[in-house]
Chains A and B, each alone.
Chain A
Amino acid sequence: MAETPPTAPASLDAQPNRFIFPRWANLLLPFIIVMAVGGGLYATLIVGLGFSPQATDVGYMPEQPVPYSHELHAGKLGIDCRYCHTTVEDAAFAASPPTQTCMNCHTNVNVANPGNIQKIKESWNTGMPVQWVKVHDLPDYVFFNHSAHVNKGVGCATCHGQVDQMPTVYQAKELSMSWCLTCHREPEKFLRPRDQVTNMKWSAKDHPMFADQPDIAESVAQLELGKKLKVEYQVRDTQYMQSCSTCHR
């Protein structure tokens, strides 16, 4: 390369470097490239993690008007879910129990803190319902039906988590469309015998079918049992299960 002598026009000599980029400006190009790539990755990370239902929906645990505990009633006292949510097997909606159901026992149970059930007694005396806050709530354009699931052997725990260990109910699963579809595509990974749907401690490998295979893996047992139940309960084909009009009608 031919060298040019370091001579500059006279006008620049007066204020040296005024209009010349400083040397560190050379760093800007790599810097911008790194920022563009890194920023893009970063934005993807934020949107992927932050906008997912795991972050926005799961863990919603509203405060209820009465400190009613599933851990106590369904867990410790072992009351079956259907004792209170009587409609799950017959209807789309799983009704919250009326005050009458609580009063079956609470007219006479001598609880430690009567203040906690004061609202129930008031409701019983005045006829005004207790206003429970809804925890699980799909958008109104989605059609959901409890009886369709419960009668084909999908357990409460699969969709609501370990309710019997929740002092206050919270949303344990995403309830997003992709979540529904993971099961609708492969229901055999989740099905259980119909008479076990409300059992919170059920596991496939305890099924009598595997009595002679004590150390079978849970996932293997589930798949084998699920395939059998899928035929037995005549679960509909994948095409129907993932067609838009099944859930959006």
Chain B
Amino acid sequence: MSSQPTTTSSAAPRGRRRIKPPFWLVSILIILVIASWIPLAVIARARVSKSPLPRIQLIQDMDRQPVYKTQQTSPVFSDGRAMRMPIAGTVGRGDLRGSDNYVMGYTLDDKGQPQWAVDFPQEITVDDALLQRGRQRYDIYCLPCHGADGIGDGPVNQRAVELRGSWIPAANLVDAAIRERPAGHLFNTISRGIRSMPPYGEQLPHLRDRWAIVAYVRALQVSHDAPINLLPAKLKQRAQADQARQKTGN
């Protein structure tokens, strides 16, 4: 390095001299840095928030193809359904396969009066698998109103009774009157409803499932006054302890 003065004003050694960038360059830089946070903030918001705006589709590909999928709408039909409803009175193939008792829960006698199936039809064998299935289906479709043990205290029923209005409380399924109903009558109640109870045939399309529920309802009815010596050993002990406690008065 030479010690000779240069033409510029600064006298400091060259390596240490500070170069001052012009104001406009500095401003652009600052604006850029600040602006770069805006897209980040927008993205952060998009990642955590919910929005009714349609999803962003960056690449269309063949995402939406001109076909109707299940339950879509179509402008072709006046009701807007792309799926057509079966014509009233249509019977699906296989829907009537089985004895009358199995399909409807009754047979018609000479005078056209229903004769309820007293017991389960020949297509059904009541075994543990059927009862387990029945329990599961019951818990889905009946429990909301009739309650887990059938006495009619389901959560929906309780809430609806609280709200009053025209709600009719769900029946107690372990009641003497319902115990005496023939199996076919219970089946028909599930399929077609009764008085203010809605039909469940649509939601339970498999006939076997309806019979499984009938079997489970029967099991509930038995369980409500099962004699204590029919219980398995562990439950028996508990029940006896309960009884003893009740006798002593607490």
A110 and B79 in contact (CB under 8 A), knowing A24-B25, A50-B46, A95-B71? no
What residues of B have a CB within 8 angstroms of the CB of A105 in the complex?
156, 160, 198
Given contacts A112-B163, A140-B69, 11 further A-B contacts (CB under 8 A): A23-B19, A46-B43, A55-B56, A79-B156, A96-B71, A100-B198, A101-B202, A105-B198, A110-B163, A110-B165, A110-B166
Instruction: List CB contacts (< 8 Å) of B48-94 with chain A.
Output: 48-52, 54-58, 61-65, 67, 69-71, 73, 79-81
Cβ contact within 8 Å between A61 and B71: no
A86–B141 Cα distance when bound, in Å, is 10
What are the 5 closest A-B residue pairs judged by CB atoms, nearest first?
A: A110-B165, A139-B63, A104-B198, A56-B56, A93-B70
Instruction: List CB contacts (< 8 Å) of A58-72 with chain B.
Output: 58-63
Please tell me if B182 contacts chain A, counting CB pairs below 8 Å.
no
Please tell me if B39 contacts chain A, counting CB pairs below 8 Å.
yes
What residues of A have a CB within 8 angstroms of the CB of B47 in the complex?
49, 54-55, 58-59
CB contact between B144 and one of A45, A79, A111 (< 8 Å): that residue: A79
Q: Which chain B residue lies CB-closest to A42?
A: B36
Q: Separation in Å of the A199 CB from the closest CB of chain B?
A: 11
Cβ contact within 8 Å between B52 and A63: yes
A140 and B160 in contact (CB under 8 A), knowing A82-B140, A98-B202? no
Question: Which stretch from A125-133, A203-211, A217-225, A227-235 is at the chain B interface?
Answer: A125-133
CB contact between A111 and one of B61, B155, B163 (< 8 Å): that residue: B163
A62 and B52 in contact (CB under 8 A), knowing A24-B20, A54-B47, A110-B164? yes
Cβ contact within 8 Å between A27 and B21: yes
What residues of A have a CB within 8 angstroms of the CB of B203 in the complex?
83, 86, 101
Cβ contact within 8 Å between B79 and A128: yes
Residues of B within 8 A of A (CB): 2, 4, 6-7, 19-22, 25, 36, 39-40, 42-44, 46-52, 54-58, 61-65, 67, 69-71, 73, 79-81, 136, 139-141, 143-144, 155-156, 159-160, 163-168, 196, 198, 202-203, 205
Q: Separation in Å of the B140 CB from the closest CB of chain A?
A: 4
A61 and B61 in contact (CB under 8 A), knowing A24-B20, A109-B165, A110-B167? no
What residues of B have a CB within 8 angstroms of the CB of A80 in the complex?
139-140, 143
Taking residues whose C-beta sits less than 8 angstroms from the other chain, chain A's interface range is 35 or more
A60–B80 Cα distance when bound, in Å, is 24
Q: Separation in Å of the B39 CB from the closest CB of chain A?
A: 6
Give 26 CB contacts A-B under 8 Å: A6-B6, A24-B25, A45-B40, A46-B39, A46-B40, A49-B43, A50-B43, A51-B58, A55-B43, A56-B46, A58-B47, A59-B51, A60-B51, A83-B144, A86-B203, A95-B71, A98-B202, A107-B196, A107-B198, A108-B166, A127-B79, A128-B79, A139-B61, A140-B67, A170-B50, A195-B136
A175–B56 Cα distance when bound, in Å, is 14
Cβ contact within 8 Å between B160 and A108: yes
Q: Separation in Å of the B83 CB from the closest CB of chain A?
A: 10
A63–B52 Cα distance when bound, in Å, is 6
Please tell me if A29 contacts chain B, counting CB pairs below 8 Å.
no
Cβ contact within 8 Å between B196 and A141: no
What residues of A have a CB within 8 angstroms of the CB of B61 in the complex?
139, 141
Cβ contact within 8 Å between A141 and B144: no
What residues of A have a CB within 8 angstroms of the CB of B20 in the complex?
24
What residues of B have a CB within 8 angstroms of the CB of A131 in the complex?
73, 80
CB contact between B198 and one of A26, A49, A62, A103 (< 8 Å): that residue: A103
A101–B48 Cα distance when bound, in Å, is 34
Please tell me if A186 contacts chain B, counting CB pairs below 8 Å.
no
A246–B160 Cα distance when bound, in Å, is 46
Cβ contact within 8 Å between A139 and B6: no
CB contact between B63 and one of A49, A78, A141 (< 8 Å): that residue: A141
